[in-house]
Structure 1
Amino acid sequence: MPHVPTAPPGAPSAGTVTLPVQVRSPWWELGRRLLLALVILLFTIALVYFDRDGYIDSNDPEHNYTVDMVDSIYYTTVTLSTTGYGDIAPVTSQARLVNAFVITPLRIAFLVLLIGTTLEVLASQGREMFRVARWRNKMTEHVVVVGYGTKGRRAVDTLVNNGLSREEIVIVDPSALALQEAQADGVAMVTGDATRREVLRRAGVERATQVIITTDRDDSNVLATLTVRQLNPTAWIVAAVREQENVALMRQSGADSVITSSDAVGRLLGISSLSPTLGSVMEDLLTYGEGLEVAERDLLVPEVGKQPQSLPDQVIAVVRDERVYRYFDPVVSQLARGDRLIVIRPARERPWAPRPGTHGEALSIEQD
């Protein structure tokens, strides 16, 4: 089994679902509110003590009914808690005004803090459990991303930039750092090892349409792919491997598409060394939002029967009957209804849509 980093103290346990809303711990909230209550208590004690000449203790004739520090603490606690025995009372106008306009609002704030804290501690965990249960019921036909390192984050960015909602993406990763990144990016996350069925079930893999597997270890990716394929035989699985020799193994494990990260980087480095201009163009194609991009779109009705080279977009491949043909292949010398085009187009245009100006025209697949 692959090594799973040990989570630091306080990190979520394996299989924990974390929705993309920063919810503070109820115990942190409890401590904060108790601290505020203590501040109110100490401030009121100081206020009464410094104005002690304005109060009288009717039960202490031995000290001329005066109020000391102990009396100030006693008066403050019974006043803020609304007990009010009445043995100590303000007698001067100044002390009474302070009680009316300062201590009374402090008493209300003190009670609100205590009552609100109790309700928050009792309700927050139940409310979060309800949110998670409702999220699970709604999560269908979503995308699961295993591993939220650099590759995983870039994959999520690409999906979002091409129209997928962040609410339709679920991250699976065991690390606390990934949890922080997912919360900052507004993406739901399941904390745990993706090679375990229970963790993947919590991410709703059985109902996912696509799964992207991109951890830092090839053995982890293979085991995760096998587990995903067992749980969901129909999901489209895209997996990353570091070494080219593991591509065949990854495909045998059930991956539909395998990306070799080290091989791709090495090719780009070699191309950039031989031809810096060609390297810059390749980098441009791989960079989202600038210059040129590779995109896939549907064929339009007016384009049926035409040659791929005659279209406004630079067609590099045609997808027909789930097979990919190069644009110069005789099989696709004439475009047919239902074809999909792989094109190079300006990045400012929406990748998965027809070229601007043709939005009103029907897609060829609609005529079947």
Structure 2
Amino acid sequence: MSEANYEASGLGRGEVSLPERERSPWFELTRRLIAAMSILVGTVLLVYFDRGSYNDATDPTNQVSLIDAIYYTTVTLSTTGYGDIAPVDDHARLLNAFIVTPARIAFLVLLIGTTLEVLASQGREQFRVARWRKTMTRHIVVVGYGTKGRSAVETLVGNGWDRESIVVVDPSPTALQEAHADGLAVVTGDATRREVLRRAGVATADQIIITTDRDDSNVLATLTVRQLNPEAYIVAAAREHENAPLMKQSGANSVITSSDAVGRLLGLSSLSPTLGVVMEDLLSYGEGLEVAERDLMVSEVGKQPQQLPDQVIAVVRDEKVYRYFDPTVTQLARGDRLIVVRPAKETPWAPRPGTHNEVVATQD
């Protein structure tokens, strides 16, 4: 799609686009052909079985044959109506008025179905978008659907998030196609514009992930998001380390510096190839090891982090993160949350097997 066609289509103005329900073109064609043939055959049978109530002006005997019934049906349904065959009895005329006429309308709808399908699809799309807007609350907005955005969505979906609760904001037609292929709703447009973010439901979103390719765009998007939703949790990506403080000042709760992370991983892999493998394993989703956060179980209150079946690497207490060896968290208390390392085959964010039926140890 060219830039001119892209702008003309309205995709650059923050319009919502939901993923299509895929159906085979052959399925749609077959369905319409079956419907048209059903109307045609049904009308032919109706006329033929009641042929005594029809008059054929071209036949001296006034007899209506099966061929005549087919002929009458085709010219009637196509609204040609030559008038050489006509119903003469009252009940035949009533059948034509209340059965054949609706059948004719349905047949014409199928004949011009391509045009009507376009209009109908537009109407359905507007209805779907309106319904989506009413139900979309406490969702996640992902700004930018490049490599980082797709990986973030894959991680969210793999850990239990419904695809219908994730909205992508990206101005690229390529991103639109890829996000739709992944079953995601898309708002096309520049995420630094307030109207575009409003269409994505940022004001009612629970979390926003900002992953564009430019740090200046990430800063502007963060500022705009924070103005629209002071309570949302914002995670932003920074290409350069020196831009991370600016993003936090703009309102981001967490900033991930991609260049530093990649550089550190490269350095570790050079110093210790095996350590590099482990770090890559932790960063790769769905294989080997996973890092997750979970609630503290009642049976774990009072224990040391090292005594738990999970490999605890940190404890979250009063919104502050403590390393597992910190004296402050020598004994686990109600309300604590655990940062653990688990096998990827387990659902990383679920309670550990064997504790599913236990009560979460909350402060209440």
Q: Shorter-chain TM-score category?
A: 0.7 to 0.9
In structure 1, the partner of 2:283 is: 286
Find the partner of 1:333 among 325, 330, 342: 330
Matches within 5 A, 1:22-61: none
Whether the aligned pair in 2 keeps the contact of 1:317 and 1:327 (CA below 8 Å) is yes
Q: Distance in 1 between matches of 2:173 and 2:4?
A: 9
2:127 is aligned with 1:127: no
Deviation of the 1:212 alpha carbon: 0.1
Deviation at 1:186, TM superposition (A): 0.4
Partner residue in 1 for 2:19? 20
| Separation (CA, whole Å) in 2 of partners of 1:108 and 1:129 | 26
Deviation, 1:7, is 6.9
Shift of 1:121: 4.2
Shift of 1:113: 2.8
Distance 2:106 2:205 in 1: 48
Deviation at 1:329, TM superposition (A): 0.6
**Letter in structure 1 aligned against 2:231:** T
Residue 168 of structure 1 pairs with residue 147 of structure 2: no
| 2:192 corresponds to | 195
CA distance in 2, matches of 1:132, 1:206: 17
Q: How does 1:271-350 map to 2 (within 5 A)?
A: 271-350=268-347
TM (normalized to structure 2)? 0.76
Q: Is the 8 A contact 1:172 1:189 kept in 2?
A: yes
Question: Which of the residues 222, 225, 232 maps onto 2:222?
Answer: 225
Greater Cα offset, 112-121 or 164-173 = 112-121
Matches within 5 A, 1:121-160: 121-160=118-157
Superposition deviation, residue 177 in structure 1: 0.4
Gaps of 5+ in 1: 37-57, 59-76, 88-106
Name the TM-score, length of structure 1 as normaliser.
0.75
- What is the rounded CA distance, in whole Å, between the counterparts of 1:234 and 1:112 in structure 2? 51
Name the aligned partner's letter for residue 236 of structure 2: A
Partner SS, residue 363 of structure 1 = coil
Q: CA RMSD in A?
A: 2.9
Question: Contact 2:211–2:218 at 8 Å: present in 1 too?
Answer: yes
Any conservation in 2 of the 1:17–1:189 contact (CA below 8 Å)?
Answer: yes
Shift of the 248–358 alpha-carbon distance from structure 1 to 2, 3 Å rule, reads same
Q: Which amino acid counterpart does residue 265 of structure 2 have in structure 1?
A: L
Percent of aligned pairs with the same residue?
78
Aligned length: 301
Q: Helix, strand or coil for the counterpart of 1:349?
A: coil
What is the distance in 2 between the residues matched to 1:177 and 1:7?
Answer: 14
1:86 Cα shift?
A: 6.5
Whole-angstrom CA distance in 2 between matches of 1:353 and 1:119: 48
1:362 aligns with 2:359: yes
SS in 2 for 1:227: helix
Q: Please state how far the C-alpha of 1:310 moved relative to its aligned partner.
A: 1.2
Structure 2 residue corresponding to 1:254, chosen from 244, 247, 251 = 251
Task: Please report how far the alpha carbon of residue 111 of structure 1 lies from its aligned counterpart in structure 2 after TM superposition.
Answer: 3.2
**1:83 lines up with 2:80 in the alignment:** yes
Partner Cα distance (1:299, 1:275) in 2: 34
1:352 aligns with 2:349: yes
Distance 2:5 2:320 in 1: 44
> In 2, distance between residues paired with 1:199 and 1:212?
15
SS at match of 1:289: coil
Distance 2:318 2:266 in 1: 35
What per-residue deviation string (whole Å, max 9, x for no partner) do you get for residues 291-333 of structure 1? 1111111111111011111111111100000000001111101
Contact conserved, 1:162 with 1:351, CA < 8 A, in 2? Answer: yes
